[in-house]
Amino acid sequence: MSKNFRVLAAVTLAATLAAASGCSSSRDSDDSSSSSSSNLVGIAMPTKSLERWNNDGANLDALLKKAGYETSLQYADNKVDQQITQLQNMINLNPKVLVVASIDGTALGPVLEKAAAQKIKVIAYDRLINSTANVDYYATFDNYQVGKLQGEFIVEKLGLADGKGPFNLEPFAGSSDDNNAKFFFSGAWDVLKPYVDSGKLVIPSGKKLASNDDWKNVAIDGWTSQKAQSEMDNRLNSFYTGGKKVDVVLSPNDSLALGIEQSLESQGYKPGTDWPIITGQDADLANVKNILADKQSMTVWKDTRTLGEQVSKMVDQIIKGETVETNDTSTYNNGVKVVPSYLLPPVVVTKDDVKTKLVDSGFYTADKLGL
Ligand code: GAL
The CA dihedral of 158, 227, 224, 127, to the nearest 10 degrees, is 70
H/E run at residue 61? helix 51-66
Work out which ligand 1 atom sits closest to the CA atom of 50: 12
pTM over 0.75: yes
Is the minimum distance from the CB of 304 to ligand 1 under 6 angstroms? no
CA-to-CA distance for 210 and 193, rounded, in angstroms?
8
d(CA 117, ligand 1 centre) in Å: 30
Nearest Cα to 173, choosing from 130, 213, 131?
Answer: 213
Backbone angles phi, psi at 32, to 5 degrees: -75, -20
Is the minimum distance from the CB of 52 to ligand 1 under 6 angstroms? yes
Is the minimum distance from the CB of 180 to ligand 1 under 6 angstroms? yes
Is the minimum distance from the CB of 75 to ligand 1 under 6 angstroms? no
pLDDT computed for residue 178 by the predictor: 97
Residue nearest to atom 1 of ligand 1 (CA): 180
Mutate to test the pocket of ligand 1, among 53, 55, 180, 255 (most ligand atoms within 8 A of CB): 180
pLDDT computed for residue 96 by the predictor: 97
Q: Which spans in 171-253 are helix H?
A: 179-197, 225-239
pLDDT computed for residue 26 by the predictor: 47
* Burial of 269 from C-beta contacts in 10 A (0-12 / 13-18 / 19+): middle
pLDDT computed for residue 60 by the predictor: 98
Backbone angles phi, psi at 138, to 5 degrees: -135, 130
Backbone angles phi, psi at 45, to 5 degrees: -110, 150
pLDDT computed for residue 320 by the predictor: 96
Mutate to test the pocket of ligand 1, among 52, 146, 305 (most ligand atoms within 8 A of CB): 52
Is the minimum distance from the CB of 178 to ligand 1 under 6 angstroms? yes
Q: Render each residue's pLDDT in the chain as its tens digit; 371 residues.
A: 444 444 444 444 444 444 444 444 444 444 444 555 579 999 999 999 999 999 999 999 999 999 999 999 999 999 999 999 999 999 999 999 999 999 999 999 999 999 999 999 999 999 999 999 999 999 999 999 999 999 999 999 999 999 999 999 999 999 999 999 999 999 999 999 999 999 999 999 999 999 999 999 999 999 999 999 999 999 999 999 999 999 999 999 999 999 999 999 999 999 999 999 999 999 999 999 999 999 999 999 999 999 999 999 999 999 999 999 999 999 999 999 999 999 999 999 999 999 999 999 999 999 999 99
Is the minimum distance from the CB of 182 to ligand 1 under 6 angstroms? no
d(CA 363, ligand 1 centre) in Å: 17
Strand order of the β-sheet with 97-100 is 70-75, 40-45, 97-100, 121-125, 137-141, 341-344
CA-to-CA distance for 1 and 329, rounded, in angstroms?
17
Is the minimum distance from the CB of 235 to ligand 1 under 6 angstroms? no
